[in-house]
Amino acid sequence: MSALTVYLARLMGLSTLVFVVAFMMRSNAIIMATIADSPVMLVYAVFSVAAGLAIILGHNVWAGGVLPTVVSLTGWLIFAKGLLLLFVNHETLSLMLERMHYDQNYIFYFVPAFLLGLYLTYAGFTARAAKSGAK
């Protein structure tokens, strides 16, 4: 397993778990307040696009096992989320969340992210990174 795959799995897994737990503790109020603030959403979109592109450009690996594939797929999903937030206006995003009944079911929407974070953290810390041959 490449050292980059292991590093990204640990980084994305732990950060996902921290964010999901923090958001679940604060209920959906922080998400709804963030969506209502267009400048904050723009910054969030820019960072998501940049992080997604960094993962895509540095780790676009679709072979070698489940973990490298999940890391690459997660990078593409982060990039796609950033593009969505960059190009969708506040009203459309609010309407989309309203139709999803996000305010009543927000915990349901955190479950996939939490499971992904658990998997990446576990796999990242149990995988053996290949030793670099450079001296």
Q: DSSP letter at 127?
A: S
Q: Is residue 117 part of a domain?
A: yes
Q: Is residue 135 part of a domain?
A: no
Residue type, 84: L
Q: Is residue 133 part of a domain?
A: no
Q: 27 is in which domain, residue-wise?
A: 3-126
d(CA 22, CA 98): 22
d(CA 1, CA 14): 19
Provide the mean pLDDT of the chain.
91
Q: Is residue 41 part of a domain?
A: yes
Q: Would you state the pLDDT for residue 135?
A: 42
Confidence tier at 134 by pLDDT (50, 70, 90)? very low
State yes or no: pLDDT of 31 exceeds 90: no
CB distance 85 to 44 below 8 Å: yes
Q: Is residue 57 part of a domain?
A: yes
Query: Residues 119-133: what's their mean pLDDT?
Result: 85
Q: Would you state the pLDDT for residue 70?
A: 98
Q: Provide the whole-model pTM.
A: 0.88
Q: Is residue 8 part of a domain?
A: yes
Query: Residues 48-75: what's their mean pLDDT?
Result: 97
Confidence tier at 132 by pLDDT (50, 70, 90)? low
Cβ-proximal residues to 34 (8 Å cutoff; 6+ apart), any chain: 40, 41, 44
**Could you give the number of structural domains in the chain?**
1
Q: Is residue 79 part of a domain?
A: yes
Query: Residues 47-68: what's their mean pLDDT?
Result: 96
d(CA 123, CA 126): 5
Residues written for the chain: 135
Q: Is residue 121 part of a domain?
A: yes
Between 107 and 13, the more confident residue is 13
Q: Is the dihedral of CA 24, 76, 88, 112 positive or negative?
A: negative
Q: How far is CA 88 from CA 10, 123, 130, 135, in A?
A: 31, 34, 41, 48
